Structure 1
Amino acid sequence: MSEGFPNDRPGVMIVLAVDTCLFACSAAVVEDGVTRASRIEPMSRGHQERLAPLVAEVMAQAGIAFDSLDRVGVTVGPGSFTGLRVGLAFAKGLSAALDIPAVGVGSLEALARPHQGRVIAALDAKRGQVYLQGFADGVAVSAPDVLALETAAARVAELAPDVLVGTGAALLAEVRPSAKVIGIDHTDPAAVAAVAAARPPSPPRPLYLRAPDAKLPGGRDPS
């Protein structure tokens, strides 16, 4: 699989990024850090039906052919079990068809990417839990984790963030009153592209921090 620049301009990196993990279906085309086209459509279901047409529209808007892409970035979770599988399947299929790398990006990392300073990305995991990860100037200072609210509050107090971002931000805001709270429920696909462009290619895998609620016959977890 090519890890270089298959487009006709050596040294130029063109990334298609997709996200279906959270409450939107989104895609962006980013060329050397410049967003050529981006679309974010809020939704809690229906990602599978919408993703391919959305990507086609974004590629057309960007004026870039699929065979000019250098890699595909895709969010791998935490988030909706069904949603993240939609994005992963699409990215892997496109990667194989175009013979370009697919790169996995954590949804918490993508949420934190646009913000500077000390940032905690937190997603409401329900059942009294949050998915949480801390960053300092874009560098992870903790691993992604699923924590009880009390434990998450202690983590916030320890890391003393300047920014709390994500659907779980409001749940932790009182611990750090000085922090800016951004209760966004989706990532910016351009941020996904930025992380994917900078990361060494490796096969994307889903990031499951908690066992799925759904069970197959016999009590087995879906895989």
Structure 2
Amino acid sequence: MTYADSSLTLVLNGAEARLQIVCGHGTELVFAQEWFTPRHGMQVLVPALLDALHRMGLTLASIGRIAVVRGPGSFTGLRLVLSTALGLSLPAGLPMAGLGYMDALAADAAALRPCDNIWCITHARRGLVHMQGFTSRYNGPVCALPRASGAEFSARTEENTLVPLCPPISATLEEAAQRIITHGGDTVLTGSGVRKNSDFFAEYLIDAAVLPPRFDHPAPETLLTLAHAAAYGHEPVEPLYIRPCDAEENLDSIASAKGLDPAAARAELQRLTRS
């Protein structure tokens, strides 16, 4: 059976600045493309998808279902992939599934670090992060990776079971560190929020193990594995926002700068977004 003869799974991720397109048959990767596109994802996503399908001798009709990362993450990036997934699925009646971004980061981390607390911390904006904790459980062979303090820790490479320690939340750096310290246990840190605030976490969580930059975003194979196990349906995937977008939080100043009444602008926003 060729790929053109069977339905493929398409996975889209725009939770952070790295835009990811993954396509596979079951858990077998067919192709994956990634771009660092902080501001140009809209111009890249659909043309890149069509080009990749063409190069593989495929068309949109080859896609049988779509999984999309629903958050938490960039308001603009999430809306881009969610609306694209919906636009592709509706005409063809394709089922969709939502994937958690923190789950994807944790699944990648757990392939290296067993049996302890994995804290996924992503950049939200200056001084603010998204975070979620997980525990992974399995046994296997070990290798060595550096801790924040420069020491090494043992890491394992077999499959695991992930158990969330808490739901995804938004927190200041101080709140994030305190939550991790309070929870206790051997700790692994991963994600863009750790990288962008490396000095802070190295000072306050000196014994925590920090995964290399490669783990700041999920591997295509990880996204495809999660998509393969996801539950699909025909309802639109709901975004996971855990804080208002910057424009909403700054609506009063934006409205005033444009000569509008802030109260009227806020009332209009509520009217337009009312379900």
Distance 1:66-1:210 versus aligned 2 partners, 3 A rule:
same
Number of residue-to-residue matches in the alignment: 214
Cα distance in 2, alignment partners of residues 43 and 71 from structure 1: 25
Residue 169 of structure 2 is matched in structure 1 by: 145
Shift of 1:42: 0.8
* 8 Å contact from structure 1 (residues 15, 29) kept in 2: yes
Cα distance in 2, alignment partners of residues 214 and 181 from structure 1: 33
Residue 206 of structure 1 is matched in structure 2 by: 239
Cα distance in 2, alignment partners of residues 72 and 167 from structure 1: 26
Larger Cα-atom Rg: 2
Shift of 1:39: 0.6
Q: What's the TM-score once normalised by structure 1's chain length?
A: 0.83
Kindly provide the CA deviation profile for residues 43-89 of structure 1, in whole angstroms up to 9, marking residues without a partner as x.
21111111001112332344444323231111122222111111000
- Name whichever structure is richer in helix by fraction: 2
SS of 2:192 mapped into structure 1: coil
Cα distance in 2, alignment partners of residues 26 and 130 from structure 1: 21
Residue 95 of structure 2 is matched in structure 1 by: 101
* 8 Å contact from structure 2 (residues 105, 191) kept in 1: yes
Greater alpha carbon shift after TM alignment, 154-163 vs 49-58: 154-163
Residue 58 of structure 1 is matched in structure 2 by: 52
Distance 1:205-1:150 versus aligned 2 partners, 3 A rule:
same
Cα distance in 1, alignment partners of residues 9 and 52 from structure 2: 12
Cα distance in 2, alignment partners of residues 60 and 160 from structure 1: 49
Distance 1:58-1:145 versus aligned 2 partners, 3 A rule:
same
Higher relative contact order (CA 8 A, sep 6+): 1
SS of 2:239 mapped into structure 1: coil
Cα distance in 1, alignment partners of residues 163 and 56 from structure 2: 30
* 8 Å contact from structure 1 (residues 111, 121) kept in 2: yes
Kindly, what percent of the aligned residue pairs are identical?
Answer: 29
Structure 2: give runs of 5+ residues left out of the alignment.
Answer: 137-161, 256-264
Cα distance in 2, alignment partners of residues 153 and 192 from structure 1: 28
Amino acid at match of 1:20: G
* 8 Å contact from structure 2 (residues 71, 241) kept in 1: yes
Q: What's the TM-score once normalised by structure 2's chain length?
A: 0.69
Amino acid at match of 2:171: L
* 8 Å contact from structure 1 (residues 76, 106) kept in 2: yes
Residue 165 of structure 1 is matched in structure 2 by: 190
